[in-house]
Structure 1
């Protein structure tokens, strides 16, 4: 097949699991003999824009007419079999869907988060789960609370885009790839068309290294934010240390706004080490040296790459018992689940997984087996190809519904302009 991948790459200043998924899927498809081309924008490029260009970026979030024209021309010239959309924020916008409709090319879209029903895509606010905008057509709660980067002004373009483009997404995409059943269930309950939502787990490349021996550390690998459970983990580890410790150190690897707090907390301790930001090879080695990988996220993670990567290395995980983690971690078989947001529960699971070598070894073996059955490259390729063929067949057969009419598009553009100006005010 000839596939055109559409993606707005996240800033290189913060490592992105989504960027990695896109790159790995492109490599997988090309290795299988498919032709894969890219239509991309990079958030890094915003810094090089003029002052006026930077000011204009929020206005392009709901609708970028230049992208529609450019992409439609390319689609007509190259005629790919299918377009695979990943992230369109902030420089591409849902105008990519109109371009595909203009050229008559079927679209599949990967839902890496919850941006279809929540402006920042997290379903999380003020340290708790939040569904205030789910089912709302205006997403006003998100604006009122400043859910994106703590800013009402920054949240407006996202809320406007979600409101005016909702029908365009739901009618213009033949197949949505959800990452887990848990994510799909939430999206279906929110009103998204169930017949277009299919589960395609992220695949993880075989790391080429599997844990040997019992391991030498507990590893947290991810962004250092409260949403990822970093403060919860620190509290749980302190509780564990006060009760005799785990017998192995906790290693935290990553970067983020809590880095100064983590650095200060780890300073002078023998049972904690902050490793900073690791490159991919260092990450693979760190995972393979671990007794367990810990993923205490406070949010409803759609998948959990670090858990799948641990499974690939034959390492069990201790993860929050909600969201996609429940689908990846089979309690007591491939790892352990703790009560979300509960430091005592997390401490007890960490104690159990570090003090039972035989049980840990069995869970690691089962985790590797689960990876081979559900999250390896061969499975990932099969599900991608099935999704593409289904979308192509759906469009050839007339699809499930027609794309918006020209009048609807004009109305959407008017709404977008009004929303953009409102955001500037």
Structure 2
């Protein structure tokens, strides 16, 4: 099968699960003998542009005609069987859909977040769930400055969502939702249910698994409000006041709250802030952990770090909403805390570290869950099946496909 993957890579200065997913899927397809090419832009390259070129970027977010022309040329030359779209913001734009239509090549799109119904893609505002723009014009997002706290920065995203909504819905043969929870939200928002399939992200074999009980709790990810980092800080302070958890909390990542986290951790024996890990360091850190913590306050569409922990035989403590409720079987493969409640998170962290035998059983169950649902073998089968469905012009039943 000939596949062209289209992706705007996120900045390398911050961890990006989406970049990882794209790289891993490309490698998986190639290892199975498929011919995969990549058409991409890199947000890192924005810094090298002239001031005039930087100023023009917001104007190209809704539609980039030069990208349409360039991609159309690639499609005519390479004639792929299918185009797989990922992120198109900010340098690609939905003009890639027109290029696919021009070349009559079916498009499959993985929905890594909620940008089809929410300009910033988070379904969150001021640290709380928000659905004001779902199913309607995204004026509330502009009014509240939902993208980076700026009305001006939100305008291009809101305009793109408004003018390209129908183009997305009619121009994509198969939308791949990364969780059933995400699919349910998008169906309620009016997206075409018959073309929304559930295809969980897969995780490669880590090559290292936990041995023993683990000697730390690990937060691994972007240091941002939506990821529940401040919630974790509050819960950990509560645990510390009660005598501690018997092991340190390790925080690895980068993001807007980096300075705040570093200051909070400074001088403490029970917290270590280690900055941004590379992939090998991430795998090693997970394998050293009693549990991975994922306390997101927004409705995660998937939760890659939870599945990475499963692959290493490590349970997770995560917020009991969004995709986490289908990834984690509460009390079996990990623990779910009440979203947004520090006391509930603190209680789960105490429980996950209090009983080594129970923790070990959870880790083994988590590994079995990974093998059944999130391994490369499963991921490849489902991905290729969706490509074939798009190429053949078929559709799955209304309930979607797990």
Is the aligned partner of 1:60 residue 2:33?
Answer: no
DSSP-derived class of the 2:226 partner: coil
- Give the Cα–Cα distance (whole angstroms) in 2 for the partners of residues 48 and 268 of structure 1: 38
Q: What's the CA shift string for 1:317-340, capped at 9, x where partnerless?
A: 000000111111100000000000
Q: How does 1:334-345 map to 2 (within 5 A)?
A: 334-345=333-344
- Bigger mean CA offset, 363-372 vs 67-76: 67-76
Question: What is the rounded CA distance, in whole Å, between the counterparts of 1:65 and 1:370 in structure 2?
Answer: 45
Higher mean C-alpha displacement, 340-349 vs 242-251: 242-251
Alignment of 1:73 with 2:73, yes or no, is yes
After TM superposition, give the deviation of residue 120 of structure 1 in Å.
0.3
Shift of 1:52: 1.3
| Residue equivalent to 2:22 | 22
Q: Distance in 2 between matches of 1:296 and 1:165?
A: 33
Distance 1:197 1:363 in 2: 32
Separation in 2, partners of 1:158, 1:263: 32
Deviation at 1:76, TM superposition (A): 1.4
CA distance in 2, matches of 1:224, 1:51: 29
Structure 1: gaps of 5 or more residues: 398-425
Higher-Rg member (1/2): 1
Q: Distance in 1 between matches of 2:255 and 2:70?
A: 35
C-alpha deviations, 1:135-192, integer Å up to 9, x for none? 11x2000000010111111100100000000000000000000000000000001100
**Aligned residue in 1 for 2:37:** 37
User: In the alignment, which residue of structure 2 is the partner of 1:235?
Assistant: 234
Q: Which residue pairs with 2:364 in the alignment?
A: 365
SS of the residue aligned with 1:294? strand
Q: How far apart are 1:276 and its partner, in Å?
A: 1.1
Q: Confirm or deny that 1:280 pairs with 2:279.
A: yes
Distance 2:108 2:275 in 1: 36
Corresponding residue of 1:197? 196
Partner of 1:100: 100
Shift of 1:242: 1.2
- Give the corresponding residue for 2:400: none
Alpha-carbon deviation of 1:257? Answer: 1.5
Correspondence list, 1:22-421, <5 A: 22-136=22-136, 138-394=137-393
* Pairwise CA RMSD: 0.9
Alpha-carbon shift at residue 56 of structure 1 (Å): 0.7
Q: What per-residue deviation string (whole Å, max 9, x for no partner) do you get for residues 269-324 of structure 1?
A: 11111111111111101000000000000000011111000000000000000011
Report if the CA contact (8 A) 2:14-2:253 is conserved.
Answer: no
Whether the 8 Å contact between 2:13 and 2:254 is mirrored in structure 1 is no
- How many Å separate the matches in 2 of 1:139 and 1:9? 25
Q: Give secondary structure in 1 for the equivalent of 2:290.
A: strand
Equivalents in 1 of 2:303, 2:392: separation in Å?
Answer: 31
In 2, distance between residues paired with 1:308 and 1:190? Answer: 27
Give distance in 2, aligned partners of 1:55 and 1:273: 40
- Partner deviation per Cα, 1:343-362 (whole Å, 9 max, x = no partner): 00000000001001111010
Count of residue pairs brought into register by the alignment = 395
Q: Equivalent residue of 2:225, what SS?
A: coil
Distance 1:53 1:3 in 2: 31
Show the counterpart of 1:411: none
How far the C-alpha of 1:46 sits from its partner, in A, is 1.3
Q: TM-score, normalised by structure 1?
A: 0.92
Give secondary structure in 2 for the equivalent of 1:278: coil
* Secondary structure in structure 2 of the residue aligned to 1:4: strand
Structure 2 match to 1:401 = none
